[in-house]
Amino acid sequence: MASFVEELWSSIFVPGPTPTLLVATNVTFAALQLVLFVLLLATKSIHFIALSLLSAGLWYSINWFAREVRLAQLAQEAEKKKQAEAEDGPDKGKGTGAVEGGSDTETEDITALKTSTSAIATGSAASNTLRPVERDPKKRPSFGADSSGYVSTDSDWEKVGDT
């Protein structure tokens, strides 16, 4: 029992549904259903039927969601494995592509990087980014968080004081 509690505590910090967490969730919902059934028998109140139905719906949806998350994790792992195999497949035995004749896109990327670095060094990139933005004359300017566009002035407060 102590190891289950330790596993449950550590599973809280692990992303995704863990088997220990799902067992604890299912046991808790089963206990809740049992308590609601006993209360229904004791009080004969229809409210406990409604609560039981809501609890059962939540219980089912949690298990469904955990199943979907697990399927998504498995699909993601399979996709990563497929990408790793695709990347390793053609380049096996060649070494790195950058050293031994890399692809054209790698050369283009390096050229673009050199060009952007030299543009930043000369300041031409900075002059392009500092141009003022033209505004649409039909659109009202925004003055911060107030979405109405109304800006308060001191004269408005004087009007309040005069009345």
pLDDT in tens, 87-109: 886 655 554 544 545 455 555 55
Residue 122 has which token pair? 């000369």
DSSP structure class, residue 96? -
CA distance 90 to 85: 9
Kindly report the backbone phi and psi dihedral angles of residue 143, in degrees, each rounded to the nearest multiple of 5, phi listed first: -115, 60
CA distance 47 to 36: 10
Q: Which long-range contacts (CB under 8 A, 24 or more apart) does 81-85 make?
A: none
21 within 8 A of 11, measured Cβ to Cβ: yes
b/e burial code for range 24-61 (CB count within 10 A of at least 16 → b): beeeebeebeeebeeebeeeeeeebeebbeebeeebee
Q: Which long-range contacts (CB under 8 A, 24 or more apart) does 56-61 make?
A: 58/29, 59/26, 59/29, 59/33
Q: What is the pLDDT along the chain (163 residues), one digit of tens a residue?
A: 778 888 888 888 887 788 888 899 999 999 999 999 999 999 999 999 999 999 999 999 999 999 999 899 899 999 999 998 888 866 555 545 445 454 555 555 555 555 544 444 455 444 445 555 666 667 665 555 555 556 666 666 666 766 6
CA distance 107 to 104: 5
Q: What is the model's pTM?
A: 0.48
